[in-house]
Amino acid sequence: MRKLFFVMLFSVLFFTACNNGNAAQEQNVPDELKIEDFFSLNENAKYTYAGEGNEFASYTVFIDYINGSRVQTRTNNGATELVRVLEVKDGELIELMSRGETYFRENFTNNDYSGGKVLLKEPLKEGNSWSSGNDSTSTITGISKQIVTPQGNMDAIEVTTESHQGTTIAYYAKNTGLVKTVDKGEGYEISSVLSNIENNSPLIQTITLFYPNTDGIHLNTVDVQVSFNTNDEPKDVIEKTVKDLSVNEVLSKNAQINKLYFNEEENSVHVDLSKEFATEMNVGAGFESLILQSVTNTLGSYYGVQNVYLTIDGGPYESGHVILEENEPLKVDYSNIKAAE
């Protein structure tokens, strides 16, 4: 009986030790790396990258919109502004859209997209490889690369993308995001590294406002700087700017911009105003035409389009002097501008 007791006791101690050992090992196992930890962008922040290799290697990034799992960024390298929509979904960081020469503010995060370019893909382990579009292949070539930046040394995931155009190496640091890129090919190497993160830094743009001259014949212009925080909408910023300047009451006190959006397919702008825009105008036919042209030129200039569709509370524009047929655009016209004296 004593022998059986000791056998049972030994078995209990053995399995208890094994279980404790397994528990200790489980506690020491590092958490699985997640893409969300390496795609961290702050609202109202300005990210500055210092570059080498060509004159456009240095650039800044602003966060236009954050919409659930999607983020819209704006990159300015001194020559152009590039807008991108990125999404973290199903263990992937995907570039859904990339649009160059986009100098206006527009929320593209609500659009429907299919496919996209995969920038980073789980599992975040060395050797993981995937197709990233355009006959290119991306591979995680390191998960703890030391990157020297003006922000300090950072451990980063290294992603190497090979294509017929050359090689791109991107480094993503935890709780920071993209910290460095290197593009290289035959006879060239271009690098950009994160040098500064400036919080509470809105996007500053210059908008040209058009308004009627007091002579009732010409239009005047004034350039105004406006600021956009993350998720600010152009309709709100432009409405406030026009009213604050009181430029001959292009928008009366009670008039509001209900909707304002860019139509990609038509390359046009649609603006829907409240009824007060027409009912509180109280001007003759000639001055009303100047006000309509002021709105058209202001929006057309900002969005870089020729056609502006104006409606009132969702319906056609109609006043005592001017009637716009449904789907009839107003045309941008700069021929009537009075030069500043």
- Residue 89 belongs to some domain of the structure: yes
- Same domain for 116 and 64, yes or no, is yes
* pLDDT for the residue numbered 134: 77
Angle (CA) 102 237 320, round 5°: 105
CA distance 127 to 310: 55
Q: How does pLDDT run across 165-180, given as a tens digit for each residue?
A: 899 999 999 999 999 9
Of 179, 198, 217, the position where a domain reaches its end is: 198
The reported pTM is 0.86
Domain range for 235: 203-331
* pLDDT for the residue numbered 20: 47
- Residue 30 belongs to some domain of the structure: no
- Same domain for 191 and 208, yes or no, is no
* pLDDT for the residue numbered 48: 97
- Residue 340 belongs to some domain of the structure: no
- Same domain for 76 and 142, yes or no, is yes
- Same domain for 211 and 262, yes or no, is yes
* pLDDT for the residue numbered 341: 56
Question: What H or E segment, with its residue span, contains residue 212?
Answer: strand 203-212
* Number of structural domains the chain divides into: 2
The list of the chain residues with pLDDT below 70 reads 1-31, 246-248, 340-341
* pLDDT for the residue numbered 340: 63
- Same domain for 288 and 180, yes or no, is no
Of 198, 217, 238, the position where a domain reaches its end is: 198
- Same domain for 104 and 190, yes or no, is yes
- Same domain for 183 and 254, yes or no, is no
CA distance 19 to 24: 9
Q: At what angle do helices 234-245 and 285-303 cross, to 10 degrees?
A: 130
Residue 157 makes CB contacts below 8 A (sequence gap 6+) with 33, 38, 120, 124, 140, 142, 143, 145, 171, 172, 173
- Same domain for 269 and 189, yes or no, is no
Q: How much helix, strand and coil, in percent to the nearest 5, is found in the chain?
A: 20, 45, 35
- Residue 295 belongs to some domain of the structure: yes
Of 198, 218, 245, the position where a domain reaches its end is: 198
- Residue 16 belongs to some domain of the structure: no
- Same domain for 240 and 270, yes or no, is yes
Q: What is the CATH number of the domain that holds 130?
A: 2.40.360
Return left, alpha or beta for 32; rule: phi > 0 is left, psi -120 to 50 is alpha, else beta.
beta
* pLDDT for the residue numbered 137: 95
* pLDDT for the residue numbered 28: 42
- Same domain for 67 and 177, yes or no, is yes
Q: In terms of DSSP bridges, do strands 307-312 and 268-273 run parallel, antiparallel, or are they unpaired?
A: parallel
